[in-house]
Amino acid sequence: MRTDGGLFAGIFGRGGVRTGDEAWLQAMLDTEAALARALERADLAEPGAGAAVTAAARAGAFDAAELGRQAALTGNPVPPLVRALTAAVPPWAAGAVHHGATSQDILDTAAMLVARDAVEVVLADLAAAAAAAAGLAAAHRDTIMIGRTLLQQAVPVTFGLVAAGWLTAIDEARQGLARVRGERLAVQFGGAAGTLAALGDAGPRVAVLLAGELGLATPLLPWHTDRLRILELAAGLAAAAAALGKIARDVTLLAQSEVAEVHEGGTGRGGSSAMPHKRNPVAAVAILSCTRRVPGLLATLAAAAEQEHQRAAGAWHSEWEPLADLLRLTGSASSWGAELLAGLVVDARRMRANLDQAGGFPLAERVAGLLAPHLGPAAAHDLVAAASAGAAARGASLGDALKSGHAAAALTAAGISPDQVDAALDPAGYLGSAAAFTDAALAAHRLLAARLDS
């Protein structure tokens, strides 16, 4: 497994998620220790054996690199770990180490523990990001800006609605991950082929005790080759990454020099090695650098879900590093996202200036709607389209074009005054349900926050 440090850790390993060798090793040891305690509680191990194994199960006492080298002989690191742990406990307690388990039991349960800790961190960062997005939505509920579709100017929107969209996506991702954390992270304990035959009739009871020791769910039966839990975890992480990637992409576009409607806060960040004048959106770029890698990892885990018979030949092994990377990258993106949104600076005046510079063209739809009852929808559309094309060719505004020539005559004949045209070209009057949608997103966020925090 990868370590948590390194040259690129500041970008890809930001935040509190830990998926390196020490985290995995301790999770495996925690599983072995919990199994020893469960066996003792089931009267299948000597009294005190659970405590003895637990005392020895400290990651710092084992050489992860050496375990990794020995894993080449067995196909996974559990057998050498079991030998080392057995040697580290008193002889009378050795029988409690790994009794009834198989390597996949230990590694799958360890994956659940690593994932649980990581998801807790991601959820906390997503909560912070959501709170910041909610603050932006509330503060800019009525801040008008140009909407953009297919990267072209469209009708007016509000920045509050933009932020509300970010908020809703984050909150939906939070709900998905919270469900996975609460329902789908389960202990794995099935023995060699999922029957727990080595424990006789006591197998199911030990499985329940083991789950209780670790605070994980008890599955209906072992899931060695049923990888839906892994896939649901991966999908939940990918959803969070997608929500964060959308926000980061919007910020990079809105922060372009020619647009300049937002910029990242903070000092000492965003400089260029070659261009001193630049203020790069570092947090947004870092988020995108993490989230761009997520779909491939999700695809790998989805492909690995097809596994043979009772134990897979290779597919299970292929999950370990992609899952660790997915947890790490989503954790980094969520940490960056919380900081990005908390410090995002919104330039409402620049938003209005950019909208005004559009020359009224984004309101063409509204003017056509004003004319439609008098001219018919098709004729109204064609008249406004012709006026827009003529104005664009002359460098004039849509309002000027509508108040002169053929368009003015048509408007006069329809009984529409210049004042009515001016009113139709006021973006504040063509925001539809933007405020209502923003309010609804904020209300839903408050309810979710109360539920998840309770």
Query: Phi/psi at 23 (nearest 5 deg)?
Result: -65, -45
Residues 6+ apart with CB under 8 A from 151: 253
Reference 44, options 34, 36, 52, 53; nearest CA is: 36
Structure tokens at 408: 């003015």
Reference 67, options 121, 29, 96, 18; nearest CA is: 29
Question: Which one-letter amino acid corresponds to residue 225?
Answer: T
The question of whether 272 is a catalytic residue gets the answer yes
Catalytic residue among 41, 311, 350, 352: 311
* CB count in 10 Å sphere of residue 445: 22
Question: Cα dist. 201→44, 100, 367 in Å?
Answer: 12, 12, 78
Residues 6+ apart with CB under 8 A from 271: 278, 279, 280
Strand partners, 158: 144
Which stretches of 140-210 are assigned E, i.e. beta strand? Answer: 144-149, 152-158
Catalytic residue among 58, 69, 272, 451: 272
Strand partners, 149: 152
b/e for 254-267, b at 16 or more Cβ within 10 A?
Answer: bbeeebebbbbeee
The answer to whether 126 and 117 are in contact (CB under 8 A) is no
The answer to whether 364 and 421 are in contact (CB under 8 A) is no
Residues 6+ apart with CB under 8 A from 8: none
Catalytic positions, written as ranges:
272, 311
